[in-house]
Structure 1
Amino acid sequence: VVYVVKSEKTFLIDAGTSQTNEKILSTLEEFKISPESINAIVVTHEHYDHGAGAAGLLKKMPNAFVSASEKTAEILRNPSEFFETTKRHYGDAAVLVSDYPPVSDVQVVEEGDGFDLGSGVSLEVVTLPGHTPGSIGLFEPKTKTFFAGDAVCNYNEEFEFYMPPSFPELFDYENYLKSLDKMLGIDFKYLCMGHFGTQKQPKAKQIIKKAAEVAKDWKDTIVYVYGKTKSEEQVYNALIERAGDNEYIKSFPDFIRRSILGQLIRGYVLSLKL
């Protein structure tokens, strides 16, 4: 999801992929938002599906700058490093994330920095390491809206299914839990997630609390099963058994289910140094 925050200035939150540039531009046009009116693109974290579209959008948005945390800025400036990391875990499938054009000029932000969009609208930077080292959220106090990127969880509302966003090698389990707890302390009304839409209170904080519960449950399962077997396949089987008859997880073809869960399991194994 790419979010638009519009006041006297107009900001995009995240940039999609290089393949979604035209879709983003056409959608902005539908809402009568010209590319020239965009003042900034704030990238919430390092991953391809949030940052790889920035370079292409900048070519169409002459008045915009790109902003991100220092860790994310490092990847935006030199995405080839990210591609090499991805290849270690995704193999041939890594070619899907190889089109990550660099952005040479990135404005780095830290905890407590902010952007003034005018007319009382602002965005305050909240660092949220865990999903990735460079993850940030953005809080808009006038509307009490919190943009969390992928810092919460993989969540399906229809089936109430949660999975930790533990993709290797950037995932850090302990920091992820700390960031979830940090989000619970923010006085927001609306939670805007990177892939799973927007939720209003009280449901929003219930999702964050549940994300923490699921993360801890996964950790216990992975530590126990992997500790005994040193087998990611056995961990996968244990997690599938725990999911039971959940229709969401059953809806994926087996090879996709194995690929996604395999990556999430490996993120835990690496983070916990098992």
Structure 2
Amino acid sequence: MKFRVGAVQYKLADIQHFEQFAHQVTHYVRNATEYGVQMLLFPEFMTTQLLSIVDEHGQAMSINQLPSFTTSYIQLFKKLAADYNMHIIGGTHVIKMEDGSLRNGAHYFTPEGEVHVQHKIHLTPTEVDEWSMSAGDGVNVYDTPFGKIAMLTCYDIEFPEIVRIARAKGADVIFCPSCTDDRHGFHRVRYCCHARTIENQIYIVTTGTVGALRNVDFMRANYGQAAILAPNDIPFPPAGIISEGVINDDMLVVGDLDLSLLQEVRERGSVTTWRDRRTDLYTDWT
């Protein structure tokens, strides 16, 4: 099974109305279509751009107001997935749960109109202390025409156990939307993505926000780069990088994934890390 993936280095800039956000998102989807992308990834917290829409007093909105855009966000991405016959992971969007709590949810839209949500499992101090968000409590694996995938957001990828669970459930590709504000955070996520590909012999597609929201607290700086990553073994590029973007540029990154190569390295690779794990000493989940 081969298929083409894309990852958007989404440029955050202040906007005045939702239509500007929709226009920017549509541009990236159209661009991906021109390159034959079948599954497209947007970054974490991309919808915080909507918070830059100021009120009559010139004040930006707070994180508690972001869920008010949920219906419009879902309608936009459902239409784009259907119109362009593309599987789209629309980054993450903050949603309000029935109990009133906020969660950071990665949303997967299919051309058939399905919407799947994976809540972020591990939260950063900013998400907890400043935005009072709550964590998800499970790992979902989704069947797609291109095999099984999972969505693990940013900080999630820094925990090896959670990726083991996704792989044990059959995921061959992890999509990792991210949002980091400086080089330290970016490299934490990036290095962990590489480690997870080696440990689990999987592909990881990751991307982050770039640009700045000058009126939105905690989104005033972004440091991001998209990458399509593979295990470090002979069938793949030596550094495990199928494709990567230019750091902090507004751009689309495209690459092809061949699932048969994953099976090959799991069975006959230079190392067989997935097969050789010691489940007699440690389990894939509890």
Give the TM-score normalised by structure 1.
0.25
Larger % of strand: which? 2
Q: Which has the higher helix share?
A: 1
Output the TM-score relative to the length of structure 2: 0.24
